[in-house]
């Protein structure tokens, strides 16, 4: 099987959308995490350009579930990359929303030891992904959230830390990723609720994202994009 260097050399990341993929350093990190823990049953929401998928597959050397409804909008770049890297036999791809596929996998009684959440980054989208991931993950398995620089993701991180004692936060060296290990059963009673809030840094990053999306091409927008790349 190919390795990380082959991925770096051969993967196609078009300039216009390459910032949506995980960084190579993040792909290496996912790869290391999977190898060290000998994870074999992996899944991701938000398959995108296929960089995270390739990094995961080359570590597990097993079948990986990728979910993404929008490959057609991106000229199937992710699927083409996986094909180019010779990894297609290791991919089970679902061209649909994670909120449609995850409950199906649950009904089929599928389980996973590694789940990467990188699809819809709105709070509710990520929350639904986590909700199902928490039901699909095996004990001692990991759920990994990408883009913790985003305010929506920091709220989800805080929710899990404060409310889900069945998950242990695993500190790691990369700042844009949060790792949670499933350590026990979810024993909350029906009235359980602990409030969770975002940090002031995440308030600033959120305002920046809004500027990037709302503004016409302007000095402010360019500055916000530069700042985003520094903060990520």
Ligand X SMILES: C[S@@+](CC[C@H](N)C(=O)[O-])C[C@H]1O[C@@H](n2cnc3c(N)ncnc32)[C@H](O)[C@@H]1O
Determine, following the binding rule CB under 6 A, whether residue 125 of this chain makes contact with ligand X: yes
Question: Smaller CB distance to ligand X: residue 113 or 118?
Answer: 118
Of all residues in this chain, which one has the CB nearest to ligand X in the complex?
48
Among positions 2, 69, 163, 209, the unique one binding ligand X when judged by CB under 6 A: 69
Question: Smaller CB distance to ligand X: residue 149 or 166?
Answer: 149
Determine, following the binding rule CB under 6 A, whether residue 119 of this chain makes contact with ligand X: yes
Angle at 8 between CA 4 and CA 11, to 5 degrees: 115
Question: Smaller CB distance to ligand X: residue 166 or 205?
Answer: 205
Determine, following the binding rule CB under 6 A, whether residue 70 of this chain makes contact with ligand X: yes
Determine, following the binding rule CB under 6 A, whether residue 66 of this chain makes contact with ligand X: no
Could you tell me the smallest distance in angstroms from the CB atom of residue 155 to ligand X?
18
Among positions 67, 79, 91, 133, the unique one binding ligand X when judged by CB under 6 A: 67
Question: Smaller CB distance to ligand X: residue 122 or 222?
Answer: 122
Determine, following the binding rule CB under 6 A, whether residue 97 of this chain makes contact with ligand X: yes
Comparing C-alpha atoms, which of 60, 32, 58, 56 is closest to residue 46?
56
Distances (CA, A) of 146 to 29, 136, 181: 12, 18, 15
Could you tell me the smallest distance in angstroms from the CB atom of residue 127 to ligand X?
12
Q: Residues touching ligand X: how many (CB under 6 A)?
A: 21
Question: Smaller CB distance to ligand X: residue 19 or 223?
Answer: 19
Contacts with ligand X, 23-52, as mask; x by CB under 6 A: ----------------------xx-xxxxx
Question: Smaller CB distance to ligand X: residue 56 or 160?
Answer: 56
Using the contact rule CB under 6 A, the part of the chain among 31-39, 91-99, 136-144, 220-228 near ligand X is 91-99
Distances (CA, A) of 187 to 7, 77, 110, 166: 42, 42, 22, 8
Residues at the contact surface with ligand X, assessed by CB under 6 A? 20-22, 45-46, 48-52, 67-70, 97-99, 118-120, 125
């Amino acid at each position: 099987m190919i390795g990380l260097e082959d991925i770096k050399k051969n993967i196609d990341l078009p300039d216009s959308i390459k910032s949506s993929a995980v960084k190579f350093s993040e792909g290496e990190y996912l790869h290391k995490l999977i190898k060290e823990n000998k994870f074999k049953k992996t899944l991701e929401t938000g398959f995108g350009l296929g960089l995270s998928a390739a990094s995961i597959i080359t570590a597990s050397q097993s079948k990986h579930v990728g979910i993404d409804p929008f490959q057609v909008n991106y000229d199937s770049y992710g699927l083409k990359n996986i094909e180019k890297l010779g990894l297609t036999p290791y991919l089970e791809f679902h061209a649909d929303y994670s909120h449609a596929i995850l409950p199906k996998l649950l009904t089929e009684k599928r389980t996973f030891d590694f789940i990467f959440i990188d699809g819809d980054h709105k709070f509710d989208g990520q929350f639904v992904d986590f909700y199902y991931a928490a039901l699909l993950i095996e004990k001692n398995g990991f759920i990994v959230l990408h883009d913790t620089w985003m305010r929506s993701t920091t709220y989800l991180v805080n929710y899990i830390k404060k409310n889900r004692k069945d998950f242990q936060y695993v500190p790691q060296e990369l700042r844009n990723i949060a790792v949670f290990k499933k350590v026990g059963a979810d024993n909350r009673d029906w009235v359980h609720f602990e409030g969770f809030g975002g940090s002031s840094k995440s308030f600033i990053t959120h305002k920046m994202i809004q500027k990037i999306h709302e503004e016409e091409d302007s000095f402010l927008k360019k500055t916000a994009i530069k700042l985003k790349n520094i903060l990520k």
